[in-house]
């Protein structure tokens, strides 16, 4: 053992792997996704290859074009798991978590600062433990997700500088 940690993938490499995984999961070609994103094929290819800087507008456009989860694409990079984006493409888990955080922040406001880490860890890990026990879907859950995703989109800054 050399004691040298293995080199971690770059952000662009992680996003590239996540985007490719979702695109292939959807059975789409690069040309189809580029067209759905209203983007030149070469520009899309640079985005998919990870050759460009992380671009939230492109991530959201890609997610809309592939009916996938933009927040899972972002979290794929953050947690170093490109497969998260594919795994969340259909159920929109990362969007659901983001909607819940947005609503919680709006409800609790500055009281959020008073919550201690132990309470938060217990609540969040308890939620995930419950998910491990089984999952159910319903029309009410889909409506909640659609409304929350629309609220997230409405609050998102416009692209550009």
E strand spans, the chain = none
Angle ∠(39,42,46) on CA atoms, nearest 5: 100
Closest CA to 158 of 54, 56, 43: 56
Classify the phi-psi angles of 50: left when phi > 0, otherwise alpha if psi is within -120 to 50, otherwise beta.
Answer: left
Reading the block at residue 146, the tokens are: 């659609």
**Res. 136 pLDDT band, cuts 50 70 90:** low
Q: pTM for the complete prediction?
A: 0.81
**pLDDT tens-digit series, residues 30-51:** 999 999 999 999 999 999 999 9
- 11-88 belongs to which homologous superfamily? lambda repressor-like DNA-binding domains (1.10.260.40)
Distance CA 90, CA 112 (A): 31
Q: Is the dihedral of CA 60, 65, 67, 68 positive or negative?
A: negative
Predicted confidence at residue 36, as pLDDT, reads 98
Domain boundaries of the chain, sorted by first residue: 11-88, 93-155
The yes-or-no verdict on residue 115 having pLDDT over 80 is: yes
**Res. 80 pLDDT band, cuts 50 70 90:** very high
Mean pLDDT over all residues of the chain? 90
């Amino acid at each position: 053992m050399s004691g040298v940690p293995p080199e971690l993938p770059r952000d662009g490499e992680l996003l590239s792997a996540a985007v490719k995984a979702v695109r292939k999961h959807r059975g789409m070609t690069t040309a189809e996704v580029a067209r759905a994103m209203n983007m030149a094929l070469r520009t899309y290819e640079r985005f998919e290859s990870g050759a460009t800087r992380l671009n939230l507008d492109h991530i959201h456009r890609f997610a809309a074009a592939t009916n996938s989860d933009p927040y899972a694409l972002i979290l794929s990079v953050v947690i170093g798991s490109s497969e998260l984006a594919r795994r969340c493409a259909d159920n929109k888990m990362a969007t659901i978590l983001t909607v819940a955080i947005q609503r919680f922040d709006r409800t609790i406001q500055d009281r959020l600062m008073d919550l201690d880490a132990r309470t938060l860890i217990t609540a969040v890990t308890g939620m995930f433990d419950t998910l491990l026990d089984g999952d159910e879907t319903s029309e009410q859950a889909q409506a909640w997700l659609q409304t929350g995703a629309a609220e997230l989109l409405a609050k998102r800054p416009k692209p550009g500088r």
